[in-house]
Amino acid sequence: MEITEYKNIYELEDEHWWYAGMRHIFITTIRSYIKNNEKIKILDVGCGTGYNIKIMRKFGEVYGIDYSKEAIKFCKLNKVKNVKIASAEKIPFKDNTFDLVTSFEVLYHKGIKDDNKALQEIKRVCKKNGIIVIRLPAFNILKRKHDNQVHGIRRYNKKAIIKMCKNLNIKIEKITYLNALPFLPLVIIASLERIFNPKVDSDIKKTNKLINNILKYYLLLEGKIINKINLPFGTSILFIARKMN
């Protein structure tokens, strides 16, 4: 990821519709997998600025890793401890250490040479019957210049995720697309970018307050919807899996 992106995220992630909405979806979805009052051990792989570590503290003891020194710097600004500089392909923890391992928008990065190896490492440090939660960008048709800005080289679909998990003997508990509302507009925008090749930088920027609120509350609604059904399309894909052995 470009260094400037960490600063953008740090400054905007508290209120930006994408981050606020996705945090809500994660928290509401994961609650059903955690027993009441149970304190668990958690690892966030590719923790970025550490904001997700802060919100997961309510569930127990949280650790984070990120390959970027810049990310760790912003973790410190967020008063987040227990973070290390490390790659998802070589996680510096023993086997069967964590009850829950999360990774949000990480495996698609060019810094990950082998996404299967990274998922295997995530499985390794997760306890037997532990939970793995991963969110990734969806559908190659949505690839845009923003992907280049954040060093994204892969996008995923349901079929690819199922194949990855099957090869590693990881049992998928839930798999759904997310952020369905902007899907069609972004397909059109991505197509136009490929045709006209405009100079475009990051999507991580301050959004008009009204639009920001509309999109944020849409994602809050989507969080309720996906607790009942899995969405057939969206700009991201989320899967929750369990380590079987």
User: Strand, helix or coil at 71?
Assistant: helix
Q: The dihedral of CA 122, 128, 133, 139: what is its sign?
A: positive
List the one residue out of 169, 100, 90, 168 whose CA is nearest residue 134: 100
Query: Tokens 């994961």 appear where?
Result: 30
Residues in the chain: 245
CATH class label, 3-243: alpha beta
Helices marked H in the chain? 3-12, 17-30, 51-56, 69-77, 115-125, 145-149, 158-167, 183-196, 209-225
Structure tokens at 1: 């990821």
Q: What is the pLDDT of residue 2?
A: 74
Cβ(147)–Cβ(210) under 8 Å? no
Cα torsion 166, 25, 23, 82 to 10°: value is -40
Which strand ranges, in their side-by-side order, compose the sheet holding 126-137? Answer: 83-85, 60-66, 40-45, 98-104, 126-137, 236-243, 170-178
Residue 220 to residue 83: CA distance in whole angstroms: 29
204's enclosing H/E stretch is: none
Beta strands 98-104 and 83-85 are unpaired
Residue 221 to residue 21: CA distance in whole angstroms: 9
The whole model's pTM is what? 0.94
Structure tokens at 73: 């710097």
Q: What is the pLDDT of residue 35?
A: 84
pLDDT in tens, the chain (245 residues): 778 888 999 999 999 999 999 999 999 999 989 987 789 999 999 999 999 999 999 999 999 999 999 999 999 999 999 999 999 999 999 999 999 999 999 999 999 999 999 999 999 999 999 999 999 999 999 998 778 777 888 999 999 999 999 999 999 999 999 999 999 999 999 999 889 887 766 777 889 999 999 999 999 999 999 999 999 999 999 999 999 87
CA 107 remoteness from chain centre: 9
Residue 124 to residue 101: CA distance in whole angstroms: 10
Cβ(123)–Cβ(100) under 8 Å? no
Numbers of helices and strands, H then E, in the chain: 9, 7
Residue 196 to residue 238: CA distance in whole angstroms: 31
Structure tokens at 120: 């295997």
Q: What is the pLDDT of residue 145?
A: 79
